[in-house]
Amino acid sequence: MEEITIEHPFTQPFLNQFLLAPSLLPFTDEELKKLDTDLSKYEVLFLNPDIEKNLINNNELLASFAISKAENSKLTLLEAQNVYDFVISNKDYTFIHEKLQNRERLTQKDHDKLEFFNIAKVFREVNKNPIDINDVTPAYIKDLHKQLAQGLDIFKDYLLDFDVYKSGQWRDNDNIRVSTYKPTPYTEIEKSVKELLDWVKKNHTLTAVGIFHTALYALHPFCNGNKRVSRVLEHIFLRSLGVNAKNLYSMSYYYHKEKKRYIKYLLFSLEKRSLNHFVGFFQEALVLSILGVLKTSLEVKRDEFINNQELDDITKTILKPLTKQHEVQFKNLYKEVNRKYARQTFVNYLEKATTEGVITRRGEGRAVYYSLNRIFREEQQLHALLDFVKPKLSFIPDEIKLS
């Protein structure tokens, strides 16, 4: 049986209960760094400037939206976009003050809008003015919480079961529970946060950032808002390492898409006092977010290929599912158009596109598949990365596997 080395990275009485088994993590730090470096090289050499600009513009909004969703926000993406417009125009978000002046009752949606405004404003600021990890102190973390929670405690008088934030203050009681998990005594928060910061500055690696995220949430230093503080600090530390330098992807958005698993692995790490559960998920999120950039680029280039063909609009619409997947079975292509066309008419459009060399057909009978008649660089790179990643991860989303 393989001998597994167990580490206890921390010394503070509460944190020292947490163990780490590095050999059981899916990736080494060198492998993670190489994936991000390879993405940077691809971005310089091959990424369409329009795609890059779109990724950067969307990422800030989506990352902020994802962080707010971690706090069970009911905000839609369209509503978030409307609030985000205030952030990018540097306008003050005064609607809460105006409603109070008019003696209107504040609602959950009002809370969610203000919460998102705070998150998006902070996220935009740390992207515009990157922070070195050595400048992050316990006082900085408290100030970060203050900015993220600004004005939210007013809702305690309007919403049932409202958990106060006590903006910018360490937790001052031991009443907090995360499921069955009881975090560190509040009297130990300050010195535990200091040790955690000292440790991540000394061990400034990608994996260490995942450990920091897990351990900070384990401490639960604030009455409310701990997940958003952990995610923003994770982003700051990764950028300080030079990772995701162009801000092309968001791990927080991956956490949002896999929210149930995000919470599950975070709770596993807390309840079992094992950092491995969430750090492994952190590595998964980083790797699959990198693959997601290639997937997005591939989809755009497939779409451009279809639109540049001398085809009628109906045929182009029929072929749109081939932007998302390399190969699609006939019945699934037909399902995508919601049977707007007679089956034979649909077949005729496909045969025309096949004859003109736009798509290729494989198989017979019910097992007929279609794909675009073009080899894309991104497709080759994505498949090569998937071959490397698949043996290491127990989960890969279908949207990436089927690319």
Digitized pLDDT (tens) for each residue of the chain, 403 residues in all? 567 899 999 999 999 999 999 999 999 999 999 999 999 988 888 888 888 888 888 888 999 999 998 878 999 999 999 999 989 888 778 888 888 889 899 999 999 999 999 999 999 999 889 999 999 999 999 999 999 999 999 999 999 889 999 999 999 999 999 889 999 999 999 999 999 999 999 999 999 999 999 999 999 999 999 999 999 999 999 999 999 988 889 899 999 999 999 999 999 999 999 999 999 999 999 999 999 999 999 999 999 999 999 999 999 999 999 999 999 999 999 988 877 888 899 999 999 999 999 999 999 887 999 999 999 989 989 999 999 999 999 999 988 988 8
| 310-378: CATH number | 1.10.10.10
Task: Report pLDDT for 399.
Answer: 87
Please answer whether residues 116 and 71 qualify as being in contact, where contact means their C-beta atoms are separated by less than 8 angstroms.
no
| Confidence at residue 306, expressed as pLDDT on a 0 to 100 scale | 96
pLDDT attached to residue 2: 64
Q: What are 41-78's pLDDT values in tens digits?
A: 888 888 888 888 888 888 889 999 999 988 789 999 99
What amino acid occupies position 325?
Q
For domain 27-296, the question of CATH label 1.10.3290.10 is answered with yes
Using a cut of 0.85, tell me whether the model's pTM lies above it.
Answer: yes
> Which residue do the tokens 């089956």 mark?
343
- Tokens 């896999």, located at residue: 258
What's the rounded Cα separation, in Å, for the pair 248 and 83? 22
Beta carbons of 269 and 214 less than 8 angstroms apart: yes
To 10 degrees, the CA torsion angle through 131, 133, 134, 138? 90
Extract the tokens encoding 283: 């590595």
Token pair 């939206």 is at which residue?
65
Q: Where are the beta strands (DSSP E) in 165-302?
A: none
Q: What is the model's pLDDT at position 319?
A: 95
- What is the pLDDT, as a whole number, of residue 181? 94
From-to residues of CATH 1.10.3290.10 in the chain? 27-296
Decide: 318 and 342 in contact? Cβ < 8 Å: no
Question: What pLDDT is recorded for position 365?
Answer: 81
Alpha-carbon distance of 257 to 268, in angstroms, equals 19
Q: How many helices (H) and strands (E) does the chain have?
A: 17, 3
User: What is the torsion angle, in degrees rounded to the nearest 10, for the CA atoms of residue 253, residue 255, residue 259 and residue 265?
Assistant: 180
CATH 1.10.10.10 in the chain: give the residue spans: 310-378
Centre a 10 Å sphere on the Cβ of residue 213 and count the other Cβ atoms it contains.
Answer: 25
What is the enclosing helix (H) or strand (E) of 252? helix 251-257
